[in-house]
Structure formats: structure tokens, C-alpha cells
Chains A and B, each alone.
Chain A
Amino acid sequence: MEFLKDFWMFLKERKKFWLVPMILILVLIGVLLVFGTSGAAAPFIYTLF
């Protein structure tokens, strides 16, 4: 909840509402990637970034 509140405040402050559809699509793809990534590969990515 705190995160959503912060994010809303951030969009308001930066006047970047045009980002919302893109964020939703990218986050959806991202979520798929998170769940689609096998347990073995995920830690590897984490160490790199």
C-alpha cells in the first residue's frame, strides 16, 4: 500500500501520467518474467545486477 501511495505521489509530482499505461504493460511483462524465470537463473541475474 505504501508503495502504491508513494508511486501515485511520484506521478503527480512529476506530472508523468502518460507513463501509467506503459508502466502497467512493462510491469505485467516484468511479472511474467519474474515468474517465468527458473529458480536457478534468478540468483544469477541478481548477482549481475
Chain B
Amino acid sequence: MKILGISAFYHDSAAAIIENGVIIAAAQEERFTRKKHDPGFPVNAVKYCLEESGTSLDDLEAVVFYDKPLLKFERLLETYYGFAPVGVASFVTSIPVWIKEKMFLKKLIRDELEKVEAYDRKKLNLLFPEHHLSHAASAYYPSPFEDAAILTIDGVGEWATASICHGKGKDITVLKELQFPHSVGLLYSAFTYFLGFRVNSGEYKLMGLAPYGNADSPQVKGYIEKIKSTLVDMKEDGSVWLNQKYFTYATGLRMVPDGRWEKLFGFPRRESEAPLEQHHCDLGVAIQIVTEEIVIKMAREAQRLTGSENLCMAGGVALNCVANGKIQNENIFKNYFIQPAAGDAGGALGCALAAYYIHYQQERKVDHTKLDAMKGSYLGPESSDKEIEQAARKYSAKYTKFESFDELVKVVAGYLSEGNVIGWHQGRMEFGPRALGNRSIIGDARNEEMQKKLNLKIKYRESFRPFAPSVLAEDCGEYFDYKGISPYMLLVHPVKESRRNPYPQGFKEFGLKEKLYHKRSDIPSITHIDYSARIQTVHRESNEKYWKLIQAFKQKTGYGLIVNTSFNVRGEPIVCTPEDSYKCLMRTEMDFLVVGNYVFNKTEQPAWKEGAEWKLEYVLD
């Protein structure tokens, strides 16, 4: 039984295919169209999934869409009704799109699938599970648990903005929901907006900025007090009530009323790209602390309701790896699984799994010999030697091909230890927002200049943004106060105290840039300003090539970890093909590109004729 799952029309469109409950392939449309967070119907991703699984549309048991459009329409109407006469501008903008397209989603999906290939429209079986059920299914079914509490938190689906479910065997029971307009995801996004970042993509930056705030200062305590007393009424079960006087997302085109927030916090909304000042960082840490408090309460409630010792998480807020680390530290559960594609892209996978186990009532068997059923999240396309050579020919690129991979990793480990930055493109592309060693830019974590070099000369992004380590799973405890696993880079834990350099005197009063120049540890480029790190544990069983590379680096330097950041520049989707990777090499100050067994040395390449105009291709995130 083959089932295709689709998420589309909002952001991060994606497709996923499963066969008899086994995940075969999954990919986001943005990787093919090169348009970040592409909301369009995922024609390319669907094509890829069908090819990878050797399936045609006529062979599918069902095509599943990740939410219920009519329920969403109900929310839309009731919201406008509830807030009327406020919301005219938003109504005028959104209703025509619904009347033209979104109300007739079945037809729209059928029409779009014809762009993939010809098929029998009458035979096609279309299913629509709820948005949060899709998230819950994406977290529970691939997990290694037979019984688990499931916590999903995001901006909004149809009505639900968060849910607590109980997964048992093949069944998922919804126990509790938080409903729109009260939403933890939208609360965090409101601050993302007020602090000058893009909603739906800048939340990650806000999380990275937060540690630059002085958490113990009266300023931050004051902000927390204002958030709790004016914006959010937080209950013991983690549910929240947002004071809609201070939010405009329900009916307006903006997230918050700027003037009212300026009055509340004492400074105006930061313009995009404007300098970051201490009060921005302080407000950032304040909302991060409040968010952590809410999700910890939700996790406690999930444990109370289910009595389970396992927790599965999904939804955009589950990408807040700092909060995830804090949940772990509370020891509420024994075991955790967080869906690597926790955002809406993962809904494509979740809805397919929900259809298989809930609608078709298929038995679920957990394979305890594996970490989980996500196959390391390496579910996307793989580049063949032919494709690599074709791309090289197109650009008259010079390369060295290694016959032995073991020989290749020794050479690359040498390049890394000399301070070079390397584009590492191997095997199947990752599904989800994190690069996990198959489409990654890598460097030496010991190198003091690496964070600055990567941010300013390669990624062209803000200098404050931290980088994450890929560490051999077996060595994790040597570098971090954490001995568990984190294969999807979704947990933040502290760097071991013995490796840290103490803060210089008066550090808290330093400006953002001076703080950045403090050498935090012996692995400075992956140690964030608060001595934390967003850990990826690399497991031989799920990514042998990447594991071998880090092992070779360890043999050369004694350090079993490297810096890993996604293979892209700011605003660009992560690379997919060898051509994307080669372009990225030539457009940036990266030193080497390794695709499969092919090594491209930047200094040997023909002059790149393109000017800086390529940067205009990508909207800054």
C-alpha cells in the first residue's frame, strides 16, 4: 500500500511517500524551485517521490493533504465575524483567494497532480486529516516508542494551535487542544516581528539572539513581568490566553499594533537589518524564557494525562531546540523523539502515516534495532556520478576524483584542520530544515575565526548567529554536559565546564560585538555566548560517510567534532543538486567542494563570470 502525503499553499510545501508504513522518500519543494519556503503545490517534490518509489499516481492507495481546508475556512469566517468590524483589510485580501481556489482544494489538487503526470482522476482517493493530527503522526509513528505522549505546538492549523495526544500502538488519541487565536507559536512570531526578523523564518534568529540578553538583569525581569501581566495569561497546564488588544494577526496584515508595543516595552519596532542593541537582546531572552516556561508546563501536562515515559514532539515550536533541551533537563520523561521536519513540511509525512495507521487501520511494528524510522532524515534525492560530471562540464570545472572514500576523508580532514571551509555534498538530501551532514558546510570547531568567516564570507548573514557541532555520538559526553543522542540537531545543551574559558570581567556590560569576540572554549566556533551548543550526534549506523569524515578528523586532530551549517547562503534554500553546490562554492569564499568522491578546489576553478547580482535572486530571510 503506497500513500502520498502533501503539504502546500501556506509555507514549506513538501511531499512524502510511504509504502506499507515504511518511509520511502520525502522532500521540500523549495529545494527544487530554489525559492525559500515555497508555498506552491509541490509538483517537483511529488515527481521525485514517485520516481524514488517507482510508483505512478494510479498506483497510489491515497493522496493525503495535511489539513482540513473547510475547517480552516470555518475558522476564517468565525474570526472575521467575531472581530467585525475590525479586519476589513485582511478580509478583502484573503477572501478572494479562498473563493477562487482554496475552497475548491480537491479540484485544485487534482489539477496540480496533472502537471506531475497523466492519471485517472476518478480513481484518485483524496484524504484530509487535521493539521495537528498530521504533526502528531509525523512525531509518533516514526518514533521508536509503542506508547508515547505527543505534544504538537505551532502557529495555527485549522483551529488548534497546540495539542496533547496519546500514541499507543497504531492509534493516536487527541486529549487536549489549545485553539486560535491563542497560540504559543504566534506569540513567539509576534516577538520575531517586533524585533525586526521575518515571521516564519526569523524565529531561529530570535532564539540565537536571546543568549546575548542579560537574563538576570532587572531589565529582562521587567520585560518578563510585562509579557505575563499584559500579553499572556499562562495556566498551569501550559495553555495560554493572549490579550488580543496587543495582537493583530487575527484580523490585520501585521502581527502586532506597533504603537501599543512601543508603549509597553519602551522602544519602537526594530526595522529589518537595523543594528541590534542590548534592549533587543534583552526582550529576546525574555520571550525565550516565557516560551520555555509554557512548553515545560505543556510537557508536564502531557505526562500527567498519558502517564507515559516517552515524549514525541512536532510543530514549528518543536524546532526551538533551546526549549527542547530545557524540557529534557526537567526529567519529565525518560525518552524523547522530535520529528526532524517538525514544521509544516513534516505534515506531508505525518498525514501519509496518519492515513496508513488510522484510516486504513494497519498494524504498527517498531524496529527496535534502529534509532527510529526516519532513516536519519536522509529521504531526499541523491546525486549520481553522471550528474556530478555533467555539472562540472557545464562550468568547465576542475576536479579530482578519488577512487577510495577512505582516502578522500583523510585528505578532507587535512583540509579542515588547516582552517579551510568545505562544502560537503553526499548521499540523499535531508528532509527538514537542518543540514545533517549530507548538504552541509563544514569547518574546524577549534578555529577561533571560523564563526566570523562562515557568517560574513560564506553565508553572508548576521555575525551573531551561532553554529552547531556535529559530534561522533560516542564522543558526545567528552565535549558536552549531555550523554544522550541528538541525531537531528534539535537539542541544545551546555559545553562541558572544563572546556570553557571564564567570562572576562564586566562581560555582561559588553556590547553584542565585544561579547562575540570572547573566546568561549577550546571549541569556540560551536560554543554559543552562553556556553551552549546545538548538538548533532553523528551515528555510524545512520550516516557512515559523515561519521568516517569526523573520525578521520579526530585521528588527525584529537577532536571528534566539526562545525556543521546548512549548505546555502542567506535566503537561499539548502542546495539540492551538484550544480547548486558548485554555484555556492563559486559565489562565496568557500575553499573546497566535495560532492560524492569528487573534490573541487576553489583556487583551481575557472574565473566565475557572474557578479554580485545573484544575491538579488534570494529574498533575505
A interface vs B, CB < 8 Å? Answer: 2-3, 6-7, 10, 14, 16, 19, 22-23, 26-27, 29-31, 33-34, 37, 42, 45-46, 48-49
**Cβ-closest 4 pairs across A and B:** A30-B95, A30-B99, A10-B70, A34-B96
B155 smallest CB distance to A (angstroms): 15
Tell me whether A49 and B99 are in contact (CB under 8 A). Answer: no
Contacts of B93 in A (CB 8 A): 45, 48-49
Q: Which one of B77, B80, B96, B107 has the highest number of Cβ atoms from chain A below 10 Å of its Cβ? A: B96
A33 smallest CB distance to B (angstroms): 5
Measured CA separation A42–B94 after assembly (Å): 11
Tell me whether B77 and A26 are in contact (CB under 8 A). Answer: yes
Tell me whether A22 and B95 are in contact (CB under 8 A). Answer: no
Tell me whether A33 and B77 are in contact (CB under 8 A). Answer: no
Cβ-neighbour of A45 out of B71, B74, B77, B96 (below 8 A): B96
Contacts of B99 in A (CB 8 A): 27, 30-31, 33-34
Measured CA separation A10–B130 after assembly (Å): 13
Tell me whether A33 and B96 are in contact (CB under 8 A). Answer: yes
Contacts of A48 in B (CB 8 A): 93
Measured CA separation A37–B71 after assembly (Å): 26
Contacts of A33 in B (CB 8 A): 92, 95-96, 99
Contacts of A16 in B (CB 8 A): 74
Contacts of A26 in B (CB 8 A): 77, 80, 95
Tell me whether B81 and A22 are in contact (CB under 8 A). Answer: yes
List B94-138 residues whose CB lies under 8 Å from chain A: 94-100, 103-104, 106-107
Q: Does B407 contact A (CB under 8 A)?
A: no
B interface vs A, CB < 8 Å? Answer: 70-71, 74, 77-78, 80-81, 92-100, 103-104, 106-107
Known: A10-B70, A48-B93. A3 touches B100 (CB 8 A): no
Measured CA separation A9–B223 after assembly (Å): 48
Tell me whether B106 and A49 are in contact (CB under 8 A). Answer: no
CB-based nearest B residue for A14: B74
**Cβ contacts A to B, 21 pairs, < 8 Å:** A3-B103, A3-B104, A3-B106, A6-B70, A6-B106, A10-B70, A14-B74, A16-B74, A19-B77, A23-B77, A26-B80, A30-B96, A30-B98, A33-B95, A34-B99, A42-B96, A45-B97, A46-B97, A48-B93, A49-B94, A49-B97
CB-based nearest A residue for B105: A3
Contacts of B100 in A (CB 8 A): 34
Cβ-neighbour of A22 out of B77, B103, B104, B107 (below 8 A): B77
Contacts of A46 in B (CB 8 A): 97
Given known contacts A14-B74, A26-B80, what 7 new A-B pairs fall within 8 Å (CB)? A2-B107, A3-B106, A19-B77, A22-B81, A30-B99, A33-B95, A49-B93
A16 smallest CB distance to B (angstroms): 7
| Dominant secondary structure of chain B at its interface with chain A | helix
CB-based nearest B residue for A2: B106
Contacts of A37 in B (CB 8 A): 96
Measured CA separation A46–B100 after assembly (Å): 10
Contacts of B80 in A (CB 8 A): 26
Measured CA separation A33–B324 after assembly (Å): 45
Contacts of A6 in B (CB 8 A): 70, 106
CB-based nearest A residue for B95: A30
CB-based nearest B residue for A19: B77
Measured CA separation A17–B521 after assembly (Å): 64
CB-based nearest A residue for B253: A48
Measured CA separation A49–B71 after assembly (Å): 18
CB-based nearest B residue for A23: B77
B127 smallest CB distance to A (angstroms): 13
A25 smallest CB distance to B (angstroms): 10
CB-based nearest B residue for A28: B99
Measured CA separation A49–B94 after assembly (Å): 7
Measured CA separation A43–B150 after assembly (Å): 40
Measured CA separation A33–B70 after assembly (Å): 20
Measured CA separation A6–B77 after assembly (Å): 17
Contacts of A45 in B (CB 8 A): 93, 96-97
Measured CA separation A46–B9 after assembly (Å): 10
Contacts of A19 in B (CB 8 A): 74, 77-78
Contacts of B95 in A (CB 8 A): 26, 29-30, 33
Measured CA separation A27–B77 after assembly (Å): 10
B441 smallest CB distance to A (angstroms): 31
Contacts of A2 in B (CB 8 A): 106-107
A2 smallest CB distance to B (angstroms): 6
B126 smallest CB distance to A (angstroms): 10
B193 smallest CB distance to A (angstroms): 16
Measured CA separation A37–B100 after assembly (Å): 12
CB-based nearest B residue for A26: B77
Contacts of B98 in A (CB 8 A): 30
A26 smallest CB distance to B (angstroms): 6
Measured CA separation A1–B98 after assembly (Å): 17
CB-based nearest B residue for A33: B96
Contacts of A23 in B (CB 8 A): 77
Q: Which one of A2, A3, A14 has the highest number of Cβ atoms from chain B below 10 Å of its Cβ? A: A3
Measured CA separation A23–B81 after assembly (Å): 10
A15 smallest CB distance to B (angstroms): 12
Measured CA separation A7–B73 after assembly (Å): 11
Measured CA separation A14–B71 after assembly (Å): 9
Contacts of B92 in A (CB 8 A): 33
A22 smallest CB distance to B (angstroms): 6
Contacts of B106 in A (CB 8 A): 2-3, 6
CB-based nearest B residue for A48: B93
Measured CA separation A2–B122 after assembly (Å): 12
Measured CA separation A34–B70 after assembly (Å): 19
Measured CA separation A26–B81 after assembly (Å): 10
CB-based nearest B residue for A7: B70
Contacts of B107 in A (CB 8 A): 2-3
Q: Which one of B81, B94, B100 has the highest number of Cβ atoms from chain A below 10 Å of its Cβ? A: B100
CB-based nearest B residue for A36: B96
Q: Which one of B81, B95, B104 has the highest number of Cβ atoms from chain A below 10 Å of its Cβ? A: B95
A38 smallest CB distance to B (angstroms): 12
